[in-house]
Amino acid sequence: MNLALEIVNKIVQLGLFQEAGKDIFSSILPDKVGSHNGRSCSVFEYSSMPVNLSLSIMRRKIQIVVRSESFDTDPYEVARVHSWKVFNALCDPEKRTIVLQNATINIKPLQGPHFMSLDGNDRARFVFNVEIVSNRD
C-alpha cells in the first residue's frame, strides 16, 4: 500500500483539496503548483518503527506539509489555517479509525501543525506528523 497516496486521496475525499497531482501531492513538494485557494499540500512517509515479526501490524510515520502561495495577503496565516483544517479532519479524537481505499488505519497525532519556514518564493510552510497503525501490506 502506498500510504502517502492513500492519505492524499482521503484528504481529497474530505473536500480539503481538489485533486491529487494538482493541489495535493504524494511524496513530492513541487516548485510550482496549480494551487486551490492559495494553498497546496504534500504528504510524505518517512522512517517508521521497527517491525515486530510476531505482530501483524505496522507503525508508520507520515509528515503533512501545507503551503501557502506567495500572492496571499498573509501567507503565514493561510498556511496555518489550512494546516489546522487538515489536522482536525485527520486527527479527530472521536474518529481515530479511518477507512482508506485499501486499508483501515488508526491515526495518532505526534504534534500539532507548526510553522516550518518560508521557502525561496515567500510561501509559508506548516507541518505536522502522525503515526499510522495498520495491518502489514
What is the chain's pLDDT, residue by residue, as a tens digit (137 residues)? 799 999 999 999 999 999 999 999 999 988 876 655 668 999 999 987 666 666 778 889 999 999 988 676 788 998 999 999 999 999 998 988 998 988 899 999 999 999 999 888 888 999 999 999 987 66
For residue 74, the enclosing domain spans 3-135
pTM above 0.75, yes or no: yes
DSSP E strands in the chain: the ranges are 24-26, 39-46, 57-68, 97-99, 104-109, 114-118, 124-135
Contact 10, 41 (CB under 8 A): no
Q: CATH code at 80?
A: 3.30.70.1700
Q: How many domains does the chain have?
A: 1
Q: Beta strands 39-46 and 24-26: pairing type?
A: parallel
